[in-house]
Amino acid sequence: MIVFVLRHADRSSEDDALSAVGTKRARMLAHMLAESGVSKAFCSDAQRTHQTLAPLKQALGDRISVTEFSTAGQAGPDGHVEAVVAAIKALPPGTIAVAVSHSNTVGSIVEGLGGGRIDAIGDTEFDRLLVLFIPPNGRETLLQLHY
């Protein structure tokens, strides 16, 4: 299994939406992942995570399904992390997935999937792309990129 894990693209300072730079970054992400074989996507209930995935969903149509797990409610961000990790772990071997989350949850998702700890994501850092390789039997490998 291969899982791309990232923070949503650049956010507007005025609301929950992506900025113009964030919209451009979301299109770049779609360009990068459109031919990767990704078929499952996970995000939070925040508008900016959906907007980060929107160009990829537009490019792939029915070849990708998007599942939302809320960061609100009683379980909060921890519940979101647990739900994303459980959903990814339930996927069949060989699946390629993407999880778009937040600066305070991306590291916990990676760690929950066996990728180890990562450095904290800064408030203005939107370009980290973590690629986790999860073999059926063996040790996970984490590749840290910028896009």
Q: What is the pLDDT of residue 129?
A: 98
Reply yes or no on whether the pLDDT at 22 is more than 90.
yes
d(CA 2, CA 50): 21
Is 34 within 8 Å of 96 (Cβ atoms)?
no
Percent of the chain topping pLDDT 70:
100
Q: 68 — phi, psi (to 5°)?
A: -100, 135
Number of folded domains that form the chain: 1
Residue 142, pLDDT score: 97
Q: What is the pTM of this model?
A: 0.95
Note whether 16 and 51 are within 8 A (CB): no
pLDDT of residue 52: 98
The CATH number covering residue 54 comes to: 3.40.50.1240
Each residue's pLDDT tens digit, 127-136:
999 999 999 8
Q: Write out the residue range of the structural domain in which residue 100 sits.
A: 2-146
Q: Which of 72, 76, 70, 80 is nearest to 112 (CA)?
A: 80
CA R_g for the chain: 14
Q: Tens of pLDDT along 59-94?
A: 999 999 999 999 987 789 999 999 999 999 999 999
